[in-house]
Amino acid sequence: MPSAAKTIPCHIAIIMDGNGRWAKTRGLPRIKGHEAGAQAVRECVEACGELKVEYLTLYAFSAENWQRPKREVFSLMRLLEKFLKEKTPELIEKNVRLQAIGRLTDLPKRSQQQLHKTIEQTAGNNGLTLILALSYGGRLEIIDGIKSLLRAVELGHIDKAMIDVEMFSKHLYTRYYPDPDLLIRTSGEMRLSNFLLWQLSYTEMYVTPKLWPDFTKKDLFAAVEEFGSRQRRYGVVE
């Protein structure tokens, strides 16, 4: 675990990549990689709780993932429901509050119901806020934000002259949360994959070659340790 003197990020975001490759290297169906990835989620939630991280956002299912084979999408939705149902008591015990961002109405009704149920059951928790990005796309979020702003202008709630960075941020899915301090991406890929495009403007990035199912609590501690050694300038010259 990072030393107490190290800076702990308030908000960590993770692109959980490599489930399919993890399964393929073992001659297993892709869904087995996703199932193994669920254990990595549990480890990261525990690690963030121990570090007193306030927010953890996980890129769980992108808007582009709907293009995957129907059988895989169906299995992923059932895995989501199973994970939420089984882990709700543990989330409550560990004082974790669940939230979700994305076009959630695109999810199957059963998945939506279980998601909202877990969100309601953990609403009173005040420890780590775990945010699942589901049917999420960064470009879609920006488009939805623009539409929201236009509605507000049309209804006379705001004047278009009032629109600035802060105002626009209030119309995004993430309006209730601070921007991530640290982005972790597994599998060694060097891209954002349409994730939190607006919010990651000044976020520190940490990329590891490890595939997501192999990512452990120790790996998260290592990412936070490196984050603590960096100097964040936000474009200001010292």
CATH no. for residue 201?
3.40.1180.10
pLDDT tens-digit profile, the chain (238 residues)? 775 546 899 999 999 999 999 999 999 999 999 999 999 999 999 999 999 999 999 999 999 999 999 999 999 999 999 999 999 999 999 999 999 999 999 999 999 999 999 999 999 999 999 999 999 999 999 999 999 999 999 999 999 999 999 999 999 999 999 999 999 999 999 999 999 999 999 999 999 999 999 999 999 999 999 999 988 776 665 5
142 found inside a domain:
no
Residue 145 located in a structural domain: no
Residue among 65, 125, 194, 214 flagged as catalytic: 65
Domain assignment of residue 1, yes or no: no
Instruction: Write the Ramachandran bin of 125: left for phi over 0, alpha for psi from -120 to 50, otherwise beta.
Output: beta
Looking at residue 149, what DSSP letter applies?
H
Q: Which distant-in-sequence residues (6+ apart) come within 8 Å of 205 by Cβ?
A: 182, 183, 185
> What pLDDT was estimated at residue 234?
65
Residue span of the structural domain in which 67 resides? 11-137+179-228
Does residue 154 fall inside a structural domain? no
Instruction: Please report whether residue 50 resides in a domain.
Output: yes
Q: What predicted TM-score, i.e. pTM, was given to this entire model?
A: 0.94
How many domains does the structure of the chain reveal?
Answer: 1
Q: Note the pLDDT of residue 231.
A: 81
> Residue 65 catalytic?
yes
108 falls within a domain: yes
Q: Please report whether residue 166 resides in a domain.
A: no
Q: Is residue 173 part of a domain?
A: no
Residue/partner pairs of 115-123 with CB below 8 Å, 24 or more apart: 115/80, 115/84, 117/84, 117/88, 118/84, 118/85, 118/87, 118/88, 118/91, 121/88, 121/92, 122/88, 122/91, 122/92, 122/96, 122/97, 122/98, 123/97
